[in-house]
Chain A
Amino acid sequence: MNHLESFLSWATLSFEIVLCGFVFSRKVQRILPFFAAYACVILTCTIGVWLTYQYFGFTSPPSYYAYWGSILLNAGARSLAIAELCQYGLRAYRGIWALAWRVLTAMSVLLFARAAMDAWGQPNKVAIYGATLDRDLSLASIVILAALLLIRAYYGLALEPLQKSIAIGICFICAVDVIGNVILRNLFTGYLFPWFLTSQKALWPALRPRIEHVVDMWSTVHLFSFMFAMGIWSFALRKPVPAPSKSPVLLPAEVYREMSPAINMRLTTFNDRLVELLKP
């Protein structure tokens, strides 16, 4: 581990401790338990990986597995935090929620199935497998968050500031992860692939500096993105978290049943008139 990596590791750890401190001092676990768990998982993984580095050495196989294991554990915890964001505040709007959860679940199942299938076809190497799975899970996270925010914006149901900051932070981490994992995976499956083949042992000494350089670069970008996201979350948590908004008072069901078809009919007529206008 060089000086930069060492500095970044300590800085990340500091950010994570500050974030966890804010999360528990603001009692975020009461309103967003999965996000609180995600913050804890991030901190635990960092400490776990750091201890593995200290005990087994930075370039040892256990450190390698611990790093990729922590990446996948983080992705799992992040997925749960996103699921929590999806249902937060939207459940109270029973009609919209009935529609939204089906759409979001269908999208999640499709994207996770795609991620599993994509990872299944990779060479049986942890780094390639992990990079592929992390890339697909990050992409799935961005798509699901985008769908959630689109649904909310469409129906005029804005996220509260804290939840919005959490969404921005997760989105930023995922976007950097997707880009980084695509580059990393392409390098591993491209000209660095002999590194993973025992039949190419003769090339290993020549490839080692390149592999280390690539891993260092990725690690630096990954840690910076993490710190940036944690900065966003900590900034949002600097003030006490406001009490969750009260459940909305819903209209009687017959209002929708009567008015929605009427509105749609008017909109259709309006479009028909526009089409007529455009006819030569």
Chain B
Amino acid sequence: MNDLSIVILLAIALSGVLLWLVIPRRKSARTTAMSFPPNGNDALPTAKHFGYFPQIRQALSAADSHYLQEIAPPHVAKQALRERRAVARGFLKGLHEDFSNLARLGRIIAALSPEISRQQETERLILSLKFQILYAFVWLRLSTGNLPIEQLEHLTGLVGRLATRMDEAMAEVSALSAGHVPGGLGA
């Protein structure tokens, strides 16, 4: 590839990135530092998907699988397994959203902080990138049937604890901001 092709491709790619960045997205999906409401829990529901975990766990349990395989005709059992994987993927997506909310919370706190640590910010950026890659791998393995659905339980347990902790943290931030700033965070 010569100089000409590289520069043209780079210009097109960068323009694409810029356009993607400036095109407005659905407002409901974005919480920005500028629109951060006084009650942080309303802005970033950290435990939204985890709340459904008991039902999901029941639906995806190994006992249910065995039961289906024993009593249902093979094509029905196969279809049920496919649907179970689709449900698991949907749940994984929800967990991804919970994770993103947590990372976004970190970024909003950084944006509203008078001083930030370069090391902390770099670390969070790398962690988020790493998560995206790992998530893609888990999603692929789940889709291809190479990942036992039961293993998701470990993941959701972690998110559950994390969500509880973040809800507490949000309450702390709200309390702190209310103590220092009349009108709360989003004044």
Please measure, in the bound complex, the distance between the C-alpha atom of A93 and the C-alpha atom of B159, giving whole angstroms. 30
Task: Closest B residue to A276 by CB, please name it.
Answer: B154
Chain B residue with the shortest CB-CB distance to A149: B21
Number of chain B interface residues as a range: 35 or more
Contact yes or no, A249 B15, CB < 8 A: no
Interchain CB contact under 8 A, A172 and B113: no
B1 at the interface (CB under 8 A from A): no
Contact at A171–B18, with CB atoms within 8 Å? yes
B102 contacts chain A at the CB level, 8 A cutoff: yes
Type the 1/0 row for A260-274, where 1 means its CB is closer than 8 Å to any CB of B. Answer: 111110111111011
- Asked whether A245 is an interface residue with its Cβ less than 8 Å from the other chain, the reply is yes
Cβ contacts under 8 Å, A135 to chain B:
7
Q: How far is the CB of B119 from chain A (nearest CB, A)?
A: 10
Complex contact B110–A149 (CB within 8 A): no
CA A51 to CA B115, docked complex, whole Å: 53
Given the interface pairs A156-B34, A270-B159, the reply to whether A139 lies near B7 with Cβ below 8 Å is yes
Cβ contact of B131, chosen from A94, A158, A267, cutoff 8 A: A267
Stretch at the interface among A68-76, A174-182, A215-223: A174-182
A277 touches B109 (CB 8 A): no
Known: A251-B176, A264-B127. A157 touches B111 (CB 8 A): yes
Specify which of B12, B128, B169, B172 is in contact with A267 (CB 8 Å cutoff): B128
In the complex, residue of chain A having the shortest beta-carbon distance to the beta carbon of B106: A263
Say which one of B61-69, B72-80, B82-90, B133-141 lies at the interface with A. Answer: B133-141
Given A149-B18, A167-B18, A251:B177 Cβ within 8 A: yes
Q: How far is the CB of B101 from chain A (nearest CB, A)?
A: 11
B117 contacts partner chain A, Cβ-Cβ < 8 Å: yes
Chain A residues 134-179 with CB under 8 Å of chain B are 135, 139, 142-143, 145-146, 149-150, 153-159, 164, 167-168, 171-172, 174-175, 178-179
Identity of the chain A residue whose Cβ is nearest the Cβ of B113 in the assembled complex: A256
B34 touches A245 (CB 8 A): yes
CB of B131 within 8 A of CB of A271, answer yes
Binding site for B on A (CB under 8 A): 93-96, 98-99, 135, 139, 142-143, 145-146, 149-150, 153-159, 164, 167-168, 171-172, 174-175, 178-179, 182-183, 186, 245, 248-253, 255-256, 259-264, 266-271, 273-278
- 8 residue pairs bridging A and B, Cβ less than 8 Å apart: A95-B111, A149-B17, A153-B21, A164-B22, A245-B34, A248-B34, A259-B109, A271-B134
Contacts from B to A (Cβ < 8 Å): 3-4, 7-8, 10-12, 14-15, 17-19, 21-22, 30-34, 99, 102-118, 120-121, 123-125, 127-128, 130-131, 134-135, 137-138, 141, 147, 151, 154-155, 158-159, 162, 165-166, 169, 172-173, 176-177, 180-181, 183, 185, 187
